[in-house]
Structure formats: structure tokens, C-alpha cells
């Protein structure tokens, strides 16, 4: 795939304001276009701008940590209010199959975040050779448990299990990952609202909104089409009236498409595949990749990197998310928010 890419010669333009936006977009009320709770400031002329000829000396680093902290504080406050009013707490159930280290690490992060904001958690760990019927029984038991408002089946599952079948068994009303066909279908249909938006794409859009990135009318490219991130990110960007191209392994001349992109979102899981030559100067980059690369200088023997070569891209783009510390923290906070919304819906709490 690397052979497809060539050196870039076009000029880009600024799309964002360096001022971090304070509001948190409500995950329950998804209008046709997702609008922050306050009117965004006019974007600054922060990169090369075709109209002014100004050039940018340094890219804005779109850190997700302050955004995640703000959302978690708001979720925790709302949970406290709900407990004081009706004596109830949100409940999240997680199902973990097998012994993948990364899956165990992700579940640990989610459990820790839930404990910090007051969400009650339960976890079922099943062996690698767990049967599909056993896994469906566990999911069904959580579906019928009124104290459970969100259900996560940690992906990926072992190869002998059918992920789509398992996802379909999760109640749409408790599908806080947003992967159920009902939720994905409603996300794709104009004028319809899913019960839940997948956490990773929702985090991507929240980052763009908080950093005042212009989306309406812009050319956006999403590299990858997974249900976890790429597919639903494309759908959300369309909700904001971006012109969206989704690239995949069968895309012809992908470098030509990326070179025209004002916004680039990558979700391919290949470390450093996106080089600076592929990016339009002044573009905004959201790197959703999380890849482990061997590093003998690291105490752990590896380091985490994204799909985008950060050291190169930062010299070309107007704004970029780091890995780690970019999209990841916001993804976890969106899971907390989805779980809270599910509990509020179940108890009729407003």
C-alpha cells in the first residue's frame, strides 16, 4: 500500500481555532447536525490560508485529556444528582472472552473510569474456548437484568465465535458501544436518532467540535471502514455536512484522494502508514490508530503509536491528535456518558 503514495505539492488552509471549546455535546440529542451548546468562535487563521497567504509555523496538538476530564466531571456530577434524587446508579456489564493482553488492558481502563464517576460495574470472564451458546447466555442474562444499563462484549472475540451474532443479541437499549444493527442503521438514516453513537467516532467528532474545526462543506477522508470507528465516523461527518470519502484496501489511487482532504481520520491499525507526503498542508488529522511498536529503549519493550507518522505530519498539518493522549481518553469518557444516558432513559430521570 505504501507504494501508492507520492510527494505532495499542493497548499492547504486553516480549518480550526486554537481555542478549546468548553461545552460538552449531549450524546442523547443528536440533531441532523451536532451543534455544541455554545456558539463556536470564528476560526482563527492558523495555517496556510489561500486567501491571506499566511503560513503556520507549528501545528496545534489536539489533546483529548482536558476534554475527557471535563466530560467525566459532568458525568460524575449527574450521577451524584441521580443518586440523590432517586437512589439509583448506572450499571455497566462487561464480558471478556479469552486471554488477549490488550483486551484485558482496555477492560481495566474502563473499569477504573467507571469507578471514578460512580458507575456500578460487573464483569464476566470466559475462557478462550468458550462456546457461542455460553456467551449468548451471559449476554441474555445481562439483557434481562434491570440494574444493568449498558453491556459491552469486548472485541475482538476468538475466531470460532461469530461477532455479528453476539452483537445482535445485545439489547439495543443497552448497546452502549453502539454496534447493534438498529443503532448503526438509525445513525445512517437522515432524520433518525440511534439510541447510542459508537464511542470512538463520537470522540472524534467531539474533538473536532471542541477545537473549533470547521466541518460543514469540507472534504473529509476516513481511512478504514470498521464498525468500531471508520464506518460510523464517516456517517457522523456526513451528519455535519462534510463531503466524505471512505478509503479501504480496494480503493484505487488513495493518495490522490487524501491529498484533497481538509480533514483526515485514520483507523487502519498500521503504525506510521500515513506519511507527511500524503497530507495537504494545513489539513486537520485525527489519528484513531493504536499500535504497539517494538522499542528496546522503552521499559515495556514497546511504545504506542498511531497510524500517522506524527513526527512528519506535525510539520505539515494545522492540527493533529497525539497517540497516546488524543482520541483515546475521550473514547472512554463517551462510554461513561452513554451508560449514564441509558440509565436515565431506563429510570425516566431528566
Integer Cα distance of 82 and 261 in angstroms: 44
What SS3 state is found at 121? strand
**Across all residues in the chain, what is the average pLDDT?**
86
- Known catalytic membership, residue 154: yes
Would you identify the CATH topology of the domain 48-62+211-329?
Answer: Rossmann fold (3.40.50)
Conformational region of residue 92, where left means phi above 0, alpha means psi within -120 to 50, and beta covers everything else: beta
3-state secondary structure string across 159-187: CCCCHHHHHHHCCHHHCCCCCCHHHHHHH
- Known catalytic membership, residue 112: no
Instruction: Dump pLDDT digits (tens) for 121-155.
Output: 999 999 999 999 999 999 999 999 999 999 999 99
* Catalytic, out of 175, 177, 262, 267: 177
* Catalytic, out of 13, 56, 72, 154: 154
Cβ neighbours of residue 272 under 8 Å, at least 6 residues apart?
305, 306, 307, 308, 309
Instruction: Dump pLDDT digits (tens) for 275-308.
Output: 999 999 999 999 999 888 888 888 888 889 999 9
Residue ranges of the chain that CATH labels 3.40.50.720: 48-62+211-329
In this predicted structure, what is the pLDDT of residue 24?
53
Q: Chain centroid to CA 41: how far? A: 24
Integer Cα distance of 281 and 262 in angstroms: 9
In this predicted structure, what is the pLDDT of residue 157?
97
Residue ranges of the chain that CATH labels 3.40.50.10860: 86-175
Query: What integer is the mean pLDDT of 20-27?
Result: 48
* Catalytic, out of 13, 72, 110, 218: 110
Q: Are 72 and 336 in contact (CB under 8 A)?
A: yes
What SS3 state is found at 218? coil
Q: Output 51 or 121, whichever has higher pLDDT.
A: 121
Conformational region of residue 251, where left means phi above 0, alpha means psi within -120 to 50, and beta covers everything else: beta
Integer Cα distance of 31 and 34 in angstroms: 6
Q: Name the pTM for this structure.
A: 0.85
Query: What integer is the mean pLDDT of 101-116?
Result: 95
CATH class held by domain 86-175 = alpha beta
- Between 56-60, 80-84, 331-335, the lowest mean confidence (pLDDT) is in 56-60
Amino acid at each position: 500500500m505504501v507504494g501508492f503514495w507520492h510527494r505532495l505539492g499542493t497548499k492547504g488552509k486553516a480549518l480550526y481555532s486554537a481555542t478549546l471549546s468548553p461545552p460538552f455535546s449531549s450524546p442523547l440529542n443528536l440533531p441532523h447536525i451536532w451543534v455544541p451548546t455554545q456558539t463556536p468562535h470564528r476560526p482563527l487563521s492558523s495555517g496556510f490560508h489561500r486567501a491571506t497567504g499566511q503560513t503556520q509555523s507549528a501545528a496545534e496538538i489536539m489533546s483529548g485529556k482536558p476534554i475527557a476530564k471535563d466530560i467525566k466531571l459532568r458525568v460524575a456530577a449527574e450521577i451524584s444528582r441521580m443518586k440523590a434524587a432517586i437512589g439509583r446508579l448506572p450499571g455497566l456489564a462487561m464480558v471478556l472472552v479469552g486471554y488477549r493482553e490488550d483486551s484485558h488492558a482496555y477492560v481495566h481502563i474502563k473499569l477504573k473510569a467507571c469507578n471514578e464517576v460512580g458507575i456500578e460495574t460487573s464483569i464476566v470472564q470466559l475462557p478462550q474456548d468458550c462456546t457461542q451458546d455460553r456467551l449468548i447466555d451471559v449476554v441474555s442474562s445481562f439483557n434481562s437484568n434491570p440494574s444493568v444499563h449498558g453491556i459491552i462484549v469486548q472485541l475482538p472475540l476468538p475466531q470460532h465465535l461469530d461477532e455479528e451474532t453476539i452483537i445482535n443479541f445485545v439489547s439495543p437499549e443497552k448497546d452502549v458501544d453502539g454496534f447493534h444493527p438498529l443503532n448503526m442503521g438509525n445513525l445512517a438514516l437522515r432524520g433518525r436518532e440511534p439510541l447510542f453513537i459508537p464511542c470512538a467516532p463520537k470522540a472524534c467528532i467531539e474533538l473536532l467540535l471542541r477545537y473549533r474545526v470547521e466541518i460543514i462543506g469540507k472534504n473529509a477522508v476516513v481511512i478504514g471502514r470498521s464498525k468500531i470507528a471508520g464506518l460510523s465516523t464517516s456517517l457522523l461527518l456526513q451528519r455535519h455536512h462534510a463531503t466524505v470519502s471512505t478509503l479501504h484496501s480496494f480503493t484505487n489511487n488513495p493518495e490522490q484522494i487524501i491529498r484533497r482532504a481538509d480533514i483526515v481520520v485514520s483507523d487502519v491499525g498500521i503504525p506510521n502508514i500515513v506519511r507527511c507526503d500524503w497530507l495537504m498542508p494545513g489539513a486537520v488529522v485525527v489519528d484513531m490508530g493504536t499500535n504497539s511498536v517494538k522499542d528496546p529503549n522503552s521499559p515495556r519493550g514497546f511504545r504506542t503509536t498511531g497510524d500517522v507518522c506524527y513526527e512528519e505530519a506535525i510539520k505539515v498539518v494545522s492540527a493533529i491528535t497525539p497517540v497516546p493522549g488524543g482520541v483515546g481518553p475521550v473514547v472512554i469518557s463517551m462510554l461513561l456518558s452513554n451508560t449514564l444516558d441509558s440509565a436515565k432513559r431506563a429510570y425516566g430521570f431528566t
